[in-house]
Structure 1
Amino acid sequence: MTDAQKSFALNATTAVPAVGFGTYLISNDDAESAVRAAIEAGYRHIDTASGYGNEETVGAGIRAGQNNSGISRSEMFVTAKLWPGNPAWGDPPKTGAQTIEECEASLSRLGLDYVDLYLIHAPFGGEKRIEQWQALLELQASGKAKSVGVSNFNESHLEEIVAAGLPMPDANQIELHPWSQKPALLAYMAQHNITPIAYSSLVPLSTWRVEESQDSSKTEAMKADGVVFHEMAAKYGVSEAQLLLRWGVQNGYAVLPKSLNPERMRQNIDLFFFAIDDADMAAMAKMDRGDGVAWATGDPSK
């Protein structure tokens, strides 16, 4: 099965490609050329967000990639995200009307008539969370979003939707990798047919976010533990990134690798010529270290 064929269902009419191209921390100087190169390398799933500040250049890259590759909009899958506000930063939560306006603004910046998936980026909406979710359902009904979901929501946040008697999200985009496996949250999501989409799949790499201003909470013990993945990758004749991304896809998660290096772009989508054996999957299942490094799903009162 090729990367283009592999996907995970979101709803009756929409499926998310297994390997997407993430655009977090890609500058406007690089985003257009990076997204174009990703599409030319075979990516059909592009993930961005208003909070990344690069929607216009990502949209330009999508158009350039489509033109250069001769593919139609229907062959692409684009994810955008609502920044819901964050009172802790003096940023009031968006109302339902503002949520719809924000989606329309994202579509304008991206140069698209619709997105394939629109997410609430984080559970910072507090008492406005349900109002925001109702607005996403309206956007789906109007066709401006083919599917809708959330990101960084935990069970408590999702239970609010149950309590409100509303349809559940099609997807929850969360940090997932061998050090943050979230078994209880994933079991809850499976119970409610919420598709997991993984971000920060490459946290265990020694090179993950080492640039200044991109500090993570990775401990020295975690850094030393990376040799395990190096040895496993060598066994399969793949890069450590390919191993970690394959772990996600093999567990049923779409993954969102990011790279500005064309060769790494090609490697990161080339995940279907090997499979991690049962013994190594079992060993990796024992590596869980808790909530996460890039994000903590946090207090539901936020």
Structure 2
Amino acid sequence: MRTRTLTTGTEIPYLGFGTYLIEDGEAAAAVGEAIRAGYRHIDTAEGYQNESGVGAGIKRALESEGLTRSDLFVTTKLWPGNPEWGQQAKTTESTVTSLDESLERLGLDYVDLYLIHAPFGREDRLAQWRGLVELQRQGKARAIGVSNFSVKHIEELKAAGLPLPAANQLELHPWSQKPELVRYLDDNAITPIAYSSLVPLSTWRTGEGQDSAKSIRMRADGEQADSPFKVMARKYGVGEAQVLLRWAVQKGYPVLPKSTNPDRIRQNADIFGFTIDEEDMTAIEKMDRGEGVAWASGDPTKAA
């Protein structure tokens, strides 16, 4: 299993299995299929409301595949709460409690990576980060990090004299490359983890309620017969999704493809048998369109 080393010394597998939008009742089967297909990195979140199903899938797969807990890298995320959305913000104390509750649902003693899901409210962010630091001290999180944080948000942690995160999970794909933020992360030894890697596909999030104006427009681009990713897929003898995932891995980003289709789960795992050449990597570098679509409404990275 190919990995990248976090600042804690923890090895994070490049190939991860994402579970966003997988219902709790479907999560066990999907996670089990992923582990059988070779995934050793499973990503969930308090906000996904599927940690119980994810935990059940992990438990069953460990038993059926003869694996131990240390063979897996498991990530979950704190939902921080947002007063602007009528939610109470998590404090340092309730952050600690939240991971305890997540661990109970997952059936685990620890997670390999615990993230703040989004940066709502400056003082709240600092309080929550102090909670994550405490959880790492207690051994309940081997590494701690953030998601959807900007340079400004991470600089706040630094200014408060707090340790820097080991990772920042972001929307990253050829149409949203965030070069300045990624450069900052690299300069500070913070690992970028890519989500929504498959946005450029015409099939990305076509389910009811999953659309946005940007995603509809991008999907139309992906339907073109001569789209660059279709051309590259033919060139390398793989699927378009594999091209997009391979691009991220070559950039040094662990990826989190999600599917409940066993064939698609296996295909998404097959990204290490080819290399995108320098000419195509250079061409992809010119495709950046800006911020992306995952937080198109009320982007939390613009939070005060």
Q: What TM-score, normalized by structure 2, do the two folds share?
A: 0.95
Preserved CA contact (<8 Å) 1:209 1:216: no
Q: Secondary structure at the match of 1:250?
A: helix
Map 1:48-87 to 2 at 5 A: 48-87=44-83
Preserved CA contact (<8 Å) 2:197 2:256: yes
Query: Residue type of the partner of 2:76?
Result: A
The alignment's C-alpha RMSD in Å is 1.2
**In structure 2, distance between residues paired with 1:19 and 1:219:** 24
Matched residue, 2:16: 20
Q: State the percentage of identical aligned residues.
A: 61
Q: Which moved more, 1:35-44 or 1:8-17?
A: 8-17
Match of 1:187 among 175, 179, 183: 183
State the Cα deviation string for residues 147-174 of structure 1 (Å, max 9, x = none). Answer: 0000000011111011111110000000
Matched residue, 2:166: 170
Matched residue, 1:242: 242
**In structure 1, distance between residues paired with 2:162 and 2:213:** 36
**In structure 2, distance between residues paired with 1:29 and 1:298:** 31
Matched residue, 1:152: 148
**In structure 1, distance between residues paired with 2:128 and 2:8:** 23
Preserved CA contact (<8 Å) 1:196 1:253: yes
**In structure 1, distance between residues paired with 2:62 and 2:146:** 27
Structure 1 residues 188 and 27: alpha-carbon distance in aligned structure 2, compared to 1, 3 A threshold: same
Preserved CA contact (<8 Å) 1:107 1:115: yes
State the Cα deviation string for residues 151-205 of structure 1 (Å, max 9, x = none). Answer: 0000111110111111100000000000000001011111111000000000000
Q: Secondary structure at the match of 1:98?
A: helix
**In structure 1, distance between residues paired with 2:216 and 2:192:** 29
Matched residue, 1:97: 93
> What is the CA distance between 1:270 and its match in structure 2?
1.0
Equivalent pairs, count: 297
1:208 matched to 2:204? The reply is yes
**In structure 2, distance between residues paired with 1:11 and 1:185:** 18
Preserved CA contact (<8 Å) 1:140 1:147: yes
Q: Which moved more, 1:194-203 or 1:213-222?
A: 213-222
Preserved CA contact (<8 Å) 1:217 1:294: no
Preserved CA contact (<8 Å) 2:81 2:88: yes
**In structure 1, distance between residues paired with 2:169 and 2:247:** 16
Q: Secondary structure at the match of 2:199?
A: coil
Preserved CA contact (<8 Å) 1:80 1:118: yes
Note the residue ranges of structure 1 that are not aligned, 5 or more in a row.
Answer: none
Structure 1 residues 112 and 129: alpha-carbon distance in aligned structure 2, compared to 1, 3 A threshold: same
Matched residue, 1:299: 302
> What is the CA distance between 1:231 and its match in structure 2?
1.1
1:232 matched to 2:232? The reply is yes
Q: Secondary structure at the match of 1:146?
A: strand
1:46 matched to 2:42? The reply is yes
Matched residue, 1:251: 251
Q: Which moved more, 1:200-209 or 1:220-229?
A: 220-229
> What is the CA distance between 1:109 and its match in structure 2?
0.5
**In structure 2, distance between residues paired with 1:219 and 1:202:** 11
**In structure 2, distance between residues paired with 1:236 and 1:216:** 31
Question: Which runs of structure 1 show a deviation greater than 6 angstroms over 4 or more consecutive aligned residues?
Answer: none
Q: Secondary structure at the match of 1:116?
A: strand
**In structure 1, distance between residues paired with 2:184 and 2:302:** 18
